[in-house]
């Protein structure tokens, strides 16, 4: 489900490993990501993290089968809250290596990372708007700007790797066989800096926006879930 390894040089690798499910973010997978990052936050062996996925899809988003089970509603919300903040607040650099579609919650996962390296097969989008689920806007607008972010959130259209690079959504586009190597190389360049400097910079990156992620998240995530549970969406 989730494979996690720590290399001797300080780069840890977290791999989504449910290719038969298109690496859908189930409750169990989100909890595994949260637990791993929470443990690595205080682990001196981990200086930076690369995030990748097995198979031809980076991440298809949340596990929609779970949404069909009313008894799981509160668990889904709580697991989702914990997971998003675990990724966003992680105090060390995170580099995403994205091969194939990153859709819905998978798109958000990529956005919450510090650097995104994509293959020519990468595709991004928020199709959940078509099913009545408002997407997260704030992390996307911080990266590509409010105008493009509004259009992508409201239309749900897909963005290929070339456009993603042009609008600044991804930092680099490489061939599929090189994406993980490129992510590791990027992490190792970061590790040329002292760890306290890296972590101080990461704190500034998280806190520098005009509105904090936590404040925006309360509106875009928690309030949306509360309205959904009350049948107001």
Taking only the tens place, the pLDDT of each residue in 213-227 is 888 888 888 888 887
Residue-level pLDDT at 1? 92
Please tell me which residue in 20, 38, 128, 163 is annotated as part of the active site.
128
Predicted pLDDT of residue 204: 82
Q: What is the mean pLDDT of residues 31-48?
A: 98
φ, ψ for residue 184, nearest 5 deg: -65, -40
Asked if residue 208 has pLDDT above 90, the reply is: no
- For the segment 179-207, the average pLDDT, to the nearest whole number, is 94
Query: Domain segments of the chain: what residues?
Result: 2-229
Tokens coding 204: 């500034």
pLDDT on residue 233: 63
Question: Distance (Å, rounded) from C-alpha 155 to C-alpha 115?
Answer: 25
Q: Calculate mean pLDDT across residues 34-55.
A: 98
The pair of structure tokens assigned to 56 is: 């031809």
Phi, psi of 229 (to 5 degrees): -65, -30
Q: Catalytic site residue 151?
A: no
Q: Which of 76, 82, 86 is nearest to 133 (CA)?
A: 76
pLDDT score, position 109: 98
Average pLDDT on 43-69 reads 96
Are 124 and 109 spatial neighbours (Cβ–Cβ below 8 Å)?
no
What is the fold, at CATH topology level, of the domain defined by 2-229? 2-enoyl-CoA Hydratase; Chain A, domain 1 (3.90.226)
């Amino acid at each position: 489900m989730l494979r996690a390894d720590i290399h001797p040089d300080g780069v840890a690798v977290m791999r989504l490993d449910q290719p038969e499910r298109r690496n859908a973010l189930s409750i169990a997978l989100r909890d595994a990501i949260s637990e791993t990052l929470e443990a690595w936050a205080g682990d001196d062996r981990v200086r930076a993290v690369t995030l990748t996925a097995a198979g031809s899809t980076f991440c298809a988003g949340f596990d929609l089968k779970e949404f069909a089970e009313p008894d799981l509603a509160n668990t889904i919300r709580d697991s989702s809250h914990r997971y998003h903040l675990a990724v966003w607040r992680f105090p060390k650099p995170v580099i995403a290596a994205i091969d194939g579609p990153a859709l819905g919650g998978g798109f958000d996962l990529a956005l919450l990372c510090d650097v995104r390296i994509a293959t020519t097969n990468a595709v991004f989008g928020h199709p959940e708007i078509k099913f009545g689920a408002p997407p997260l806007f704030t992390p996307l607008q911080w990266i590509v700007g409010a105008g493009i972010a509004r259009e992508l959130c409201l239309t749900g259209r897909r963005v290929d790797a070339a456009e993603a690079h042009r609008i600044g959504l991804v930092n680099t586009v490489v061939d599929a066989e090189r994406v993980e190597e490129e992510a590791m190389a990027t992490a190792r360049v970061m590790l040329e800096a002292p760890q306290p400097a890296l972590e101080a910079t990461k704190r500034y990156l998280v806190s520098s926006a005009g509105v904090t992620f936590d404040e925006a998240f309360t509106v875009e995530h928690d309030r949306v879930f509360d309205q959904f549970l009350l049948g107001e969406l």
